[in-house]
Structure 1
Amino acid sequence: MSEQTKDVPLNYEQARAELASVVERLEAGGTSLEESLALWERGEELAVICQRWLDGARARIDATRQDPTG
């Protein structure tokens, strides 16, 4: 990931796509231990981002269900 895109928030689809790419690279093997660890750490970050998006979506759905005018 470049420094330019490092601080740009990812939407759910971007985070999920990058996470899938990280998993694919880890499963393919052939990377050094250091690179594998960096990929794993990035994957953990992306999983957290995805979970936050999903939690937010769930909260919005729950709020809509509780609003009788919604």
Structure 2
Amino acid sequence: MEQDLDTLSFEAGLRELEAIVGKLESGDTPLEEAIRLYERGSALRRKCAERLDAAQARIEAIRTGGDGTPAGVEPFLAG
């Protein structure tokens, strides 16, 4: 039984996605099952990407003053 995407942890979602990719790459999956797995994998990929984006938005970088002491925080900017 598949767990609801909203209650699935990032780590569990990633493990399930890796398992799905393995099954699809094996080439032994019947077509109907492959389609179902692909749809589930696509939904898992979207959910994991959303969770990563949300986590990145919550990360803050510590700013330091001229003397090296913490002076505050600012949003993390990737890139």
Category of TM-score, reference length = shorter chain: 0.7 to 0.9
Query: TM-score, length-normalised on structure 2?
Result: 0.71
Which residue identity lines up with residue 39 of structure 2 in the other structure? Answer: E
Greater share of residues in helix:
1
Query: Any gaps of 5 or more consecutive residues in structure 2?
Result: 64-70, 74-79
Q: Distance in 1 between matches of 2:42 and 2:5?
A: 16
CA RMSD across the alignment = 2.1
Greater share of residues in strand:
2
Query: Any gaps of 5 or more consecutive residues in structure 1?
Result: none
Query: TM-score, length-normalised on structure 1?
Result: 0.79
Q: How many percent identity over aligned positions? A: 38
Count of aligned residue pairs for this structure pair:
66
4+ residue segments displaced more than 6 Å: none
